[in-house]
Structure 1
Amino acid sequence: MKSQNFSTTVRVDQTPEAAFAAINNVRGWWSGEIEGSTDKFGDEWTYRYKDLHYSKQRITEFVPGKKVTWLVLDSSLSFVEDKSEWNGTNITFEIARAGDKTEIKFTHVGLIPEGECYGACSNAWGSYINGSLRSLIATGKGQPNAKKG
């Protein structure tokens, strides 16, 4: 049986363009320290939360109103044995119209149930995507510090 990458989908009343803009405003929905630009193809940026999580991403796909992909170039997760578990994984946001709504499908390709981080990381992603990012798209205000991780 093929391993399943972590994925979650949200629907919002805003346009695909509004969803795309919110996704790329990473500081608006993901807690922690973010250094670098997060809103252009080829941008590289780092995320750090205390000494628990460090990761460096490069934007490898950037299709306005449709898709964003981040490649994790480097990572250090202090709470798992394999600190570099995220290295080489891809974080994707696929945006499409769904009737009168906009649907965002988030997938962390490589974050699979067999990985040690799957439980904690999938819970954190679920909270950020379904809570903070959805709020940022819907109301213009995210909740990046509602859940730490």
Structure 2
Amino acid sequence: MSHTLSQSDTSVQPDYHARIFVPVSADLARRAIFDQMTDWWSHRVDRTKDGATVYFGNSHVRFVFEGKDQLHWRCVDAHMIIDGVPDTEEWQGTQLIWSIEETQDGTHIALTHKGLTDHLACHDVCCRGWQTYFETSLKAHLSGGTPTPETR
């Protein structure tokens, strides 16, 4: 597992970016990301053909899946209740960009949260959230471990 911040221009704040390796096919990895969100991200997910709403307690985020492969998820609605973060809609307009690359031994999955920079008040909390749900829980789900989805 590697956690890095992508930055192509030093004047631009880096977006959250992390990459994991899992011992499964790209097809199984894709199915976990799209169809098994309740197993690794949150027990409360409303999935539609072209998007999903993910709930965390009284918070939620709604994504529209874009592109022919649907690996770009645009946040079209956000209501995040986070202590010390007055703007509950910070995620709105940000994007999740997934990359799934199969190798001989398994699959690399990369996640970039475009717009999740240190300019957002939720940056630290949200990066820790991705460390929990993407870097740890999804990896465990696909590696035979015990995932830790949100249960509120």
With structure 2 as the length reference, what TM-score do the two structures score?
Answer: 0.81
1:85 aligns with 2:123: no
Counterpart-to-counterpart distance in 1, 2:90 and 2:42:
20
Paired position in structure 1 for 2:8: none
- Structure 1 segments, 4+ long, off by >3 Å, are none
Aligned ranges for residues 1-149 of structure 1 at < 5 Å?
1-24=11-34, 25-37=36-48, 40=49, 43-51=50-58, 53-61=59-67, 63=69, 68-79=71-82, 80-98=85-103, 100-139=105-144, 142-145=147-150
Read off the aligned partner of 1:8 and give its amino acid letter: A
Read off the aligned partner of 2:90 and give its amino acid letter: E
Contact kept, 8 Å, 1:32 with 1:50, in 2: the verdict is no
With structure 1 as the length reference, what TM-score do the two structures score?
Answer: 0.83
Counterpart-to-counterpart distance in 1, 2:28 and 2:145:
10
- List alignment gaps of at least 5 residues for structure 1: none
Read off the aligned partner of 1:27 and give its amino acid letter: T
Aligned length: 139
Deviation at residue 129 of structure 1 after TM alignment: 0.9
- List alignment gaps of at least 5 residues for structure 2: 1-10
